[in-house]
Structure 1
Amino acid sequence: MPRQGLSRHELDAIRGLAEICERHDGIKLKLNWSMLESRPAGETNDLLVYERGRLVGFCGIYAFLSTEAELSGMVHPDYRRRGVFTQLAAKAAQLCRERGMQRLIYICPRNSEAGQSFLQRQNLPYRDSEYAMELSNASAVPLSAASLPSGVTLRQGGKDDLNQLAELNRVGFGMSQEEATSLAAATLTPLEIPYLAERDGQAVGKLNVLFNDSAGLAFVFGFAVKPEERGRGIGRAMLSGVIERIRKERGLARFGLEVAATNERALGLYESCGFRTVSVIDYYTQQLN
């Protein structure tokens, strides 16, 4: 059942199914709840399968770029090996092709036997892995009083900063101009706030925060510092400063983020700020053209 936007009843059913799967498999699914709770009308991003009025399968499409989408989902333990997720994935691929996307990225917890088995049967190539990290009680973690370098200030950004955010995406993540702009535009939503570090009015670094108020969680992503500005303490000061600001302004004490498994420098930074690894997420790619 393709859905354009999710009702409260459907969100509750998805949450219930996730709890069953996580408890049965001993895993933590990545379902991007903030996005599920604010799906745009007029665009199909979620696929649901019911059996006798019971939700038994779900697949969500998460598009951050115009060229690709991420997929995450699950099937009730009692309904596996019946082709349920195979059908969901095929329908998701069809929808993404119709939107002109070039590839799908499958999200799978490393310790999910069901997910890993599905991906092996599909013979999809492994792309990379990330550590999912969490700072579970920020109010109890004594962040260092790291200060921004002289002349650098930290402020909240917005739609007027689209060009600067896009440029930081381009130089920070090696994206094309089109992808960098698409990502910057996609992350300017009511639930997301960009923060910019600036020198003389020019952005030298940024990070985004996605708020999941129902879970009491702030998710940090899109962390980038211009190459020529790295190694000066800007990244650590930005992260510490944003955490402190959110703690004071919104009363949130839980923060999450993801970091590439190969990025030892960033991993060390996050650990020094109190973040701890809670799971490992593997990504697999399917080309659509």
Structure 2
Amino acid sequence: MPYQIVKSNKLSDTQIRDINNLVSLCNRHDRLQYSFDPNDNFKKKADINHFLLYDADKLLSVVILFTPRNEAEVSAFTHPEFRRKGLFSSLLSAAAAELSRRRIPDFLFVCDKSSQDGQKVVTHLKAVYEYSEFAMKLNPEKIPDLTMDPALQIRETKPADRPTLIKIRRASFRDQTDESFMPFFLAENRVVHTLFYHHEIIGLIAVYDDGQKYYIHGFAIDPPYRGKGLGGQALHFIVKKFRNLDPRKDIELEVQTENIRALSLYEKIGFKVFTAYDYSRLPLKNYTISNS
């Protein structure tokens, strides 16, 4: 029986289970720590972000797209016994057709720095390295005692906060588009917090709950208020809040490796690097089936 490629705009429970099992298998084989989150709050209903290749009922390979901006972050997993057989290439070609339909110009491959097979694939595709991020996990025993400035207030975001928060996000994150803002605020399982200093909105910080861990992201302070210790106090508040909500869940975040100031801040709050991911860009116009 030939392999079957399944293109999914809404994963079934069985497909989610199959992907989780494949990711776990690859992690054990490659000694990596990837995780899979089936929720995709940035996609439109008709968009296809999951490409699965089956042999009968056995999932052998999967390509996963994440498209919050005008690019597609790509994660891929192939059963160790079925690598270098063209399975990933078949799925990537299907993903390329989907990106072309949606007029998304670039692949952005996400690859663990320690993944030998993954790094070889990225090199073979001639994707150009762009940046790296550290993945960090909170060590609860390293959370410091910290007193919060009484003028700093933090509460869950309200709709009236959004125009100011959008301006702060634009000043803080690269490649932000208007289309990416509302999904950020409205996504399920994400709580966005607004930071106030002397009653003025100065920043935001979001926490996403994937069911297994809390993931802190979208953390931004308005430039005039940076360097005053407010970011550290805000992060400490969030860490304590979510540790109290469910102390069994890990708390993680990511930071670009060259952002030394942020890295130092996170380490002071109790976070420790556990892996690093490389991001490499391949314009769709440069992609051909032959080079995959």
| Pair 1:14–1:36, CA change in 2 (3 A) | farther
The answer to whether residue 47 in structure 2 is matched with residue 43 in structure 1 is yes
Deviant stretches of 4+, over 4 Å = 36-41, 250-253
Aligned 1:94-113 pairs, distance under 5 A: 94-113=97-116
Which residue of 1 is the match for residue 290 of structure 2? none
Cα distance between partner residues in 1 of 2:267 and 2:47: 38
1:152, CA displacement in angstroms? 2.7
Paired letter, 2:25: I
Paired letter, 1:154: I
CA deviations on 1:196-252 (whole Å, 9 max, x unpaired) are 111354321111111012x1x100111111111111111101100011112223445
Contact conserved, 1:146 with 1:240, CA < 8 A, in 2? no
Instruction: Find the residue that maps to 1:145 and give its secondary structure.
Output: coil
| Pair 1:181–1:41, CA change in 2 (3 A) | closer
1:285, CA displacement in angstroms? 0.5
Identity %: 24
Q: 5+ residue gaps in structure 2? A: 1-5, 286-292
1:39, CA displacement in angstroms? 7.5
Cα distance between partner residues in 2 of 1:250 and 1:80: 39
Contact conserved, 2:42 with 2:180, CA < 8 A, in 1? no
Pick the aligned partner of 1:83 from 79, 82, 86. Answer: 86
The answer to whether residue 57 in structure 2 is matched with residue 61 in structure 1 is no
Instruction: Find the residue that maps to 2:53 and give its secondary structure.
Output: strand
Which residue of 1 is the match for residue 13 of structure 2? 8
Which residue of 1 is the match for residue 271 of structure 2? 275
The answer to whether residue 154 in structure 2 is matched with residue 151 in structure 1 is no
Cα distance between partner residues in 2 of 1:181 and 1:233: 30
Which residue of 1 is the match for residue 205 of structure 2? 207
Which residue of 2 is the match for residue 21 of structure 1? 26
| Pair 1:6–1:266, CA change in 2 (3 A) | same
The answer to whether residue 179 in structure 2 is matched with residue 182 in structure 1 is yes
1:172, CA displacement in angstroms? 1.4
Contact conserved, 2:9 with 2:47, CA < 8 A, in 1? yes
Contact conserved, 1:61 with 1:71, CA < 8 A, in 2? yes
Instruction: Find the residue that maps to 2:68 and give its secondary structure.
Output: coil
Paired letter, 2:238: V
Cα distance between partner residues in 1 of 2:103 and 2:158: 28
Query: Aligned-pair RMSD on alpha carbons?
Result: 2.1
Contact conserved, 1:34 with 1:210, CA < 8 A, in 2? no
Cα distance between partner residues in 1 of 2:189 and 2:136: 20
Paired letter, 1:108: C
Paired letter, 1:56: L
Pick the aligned partner of 2:253 from 245, 253, 257. Answer: 257
The answer to whether residue 242 in structure 2 is matched with residue 246 in structure 1 is yes
Aligned 1:162-173 pairs, distance under 5 A: 162-173=162-173
Cα distance between partner residues in 2 of 1:285 and 1:5: 26
Contact conserved, 1:34 with 1:211, CA < 8 A, in 2? no
Cα distance between partner residues in 2 of 1:158 and 1:76: 45
Q: TM-score, normalised on structure 1?
A: 0.89
Cα distance between partner residues in 2 of 1:36 and 1:64: 9
Contact conserved, 2:138 with 2:252, CA < 8 A, in 1? yes
Contact conserved, 1:146 with 1:236, CA < 8 A, in 2? no
Aligned residues: 279
Q: TM-score, normalised on structure 2?
A: 0.88
Instruction: Find the residue that maps to 1:127 and give its secondary structure.
Output: strand
Cα distance between partner residues in 1 of 2:200 and 2:178: 17
1:119, CA displacement in angstroms? 0.8
Q: 5+ residue gaps in structure 1? A: none
1:37, CA displacement in angstroms? 9.9
1:97, CA displacement in angstroms? 2.1
Which residue of 2 is the match for residue 195 of structure 1? 193
1:253, CA displacement in angstroms? 4.3
